[in-house]
């Protein structure tokens, strides 16, 4: 795998996880309302990460061992 792709895969995982934490902090701890667009973007990010990120799949496979 070329190193540029690995960096993009890592950034994709980091973006998705960071957005999830922001979603949880904003909705539960800060009592802010979350827009529908934010929820759709977060769901889309998780689907793309799970389906199309081979690095994520490799990490999950190693974690399940």
Token pair listed for 39: 């929820």
Report the predicted TM-score, pTM, of the whole model to 2 decimal places.
Answer: 0.84
Give, as one character, the DSSP assignment of residue 27.
I
Q: What are phi and psi of 41, to 5 degrees?
A: -65, -40
Domain ranges (residues) in the chain: 3-64
Per-chain mean pLDDT for the chain: 94
pLDDT tens column, 8-47:
999 999 999 999 999 999 999 999 999 999 999 999 999 9
Q: Inform me whether the pLDDT recorded for 64 exceeds 90.
A: yes
Q: What is the CA radius of gyration of the chain?
A: 14
- The pLDDT, as a whole number, for residue 43 is 97
């Amino acid at each position: 795998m070329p190193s540029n792709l690995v960096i993009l895969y890592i950034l994709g995982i980091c973006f998705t996880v960071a957005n999830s934490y922001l979603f949880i902090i904003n909705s539960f701890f800060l009592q802010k309302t979350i827009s529908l667009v934010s929820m759709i973007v977060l769901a889309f990010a998780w689907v793309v990460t799970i389906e199309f990120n081979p690095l994520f799949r490799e990490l999950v496979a190693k974690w399940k061992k």
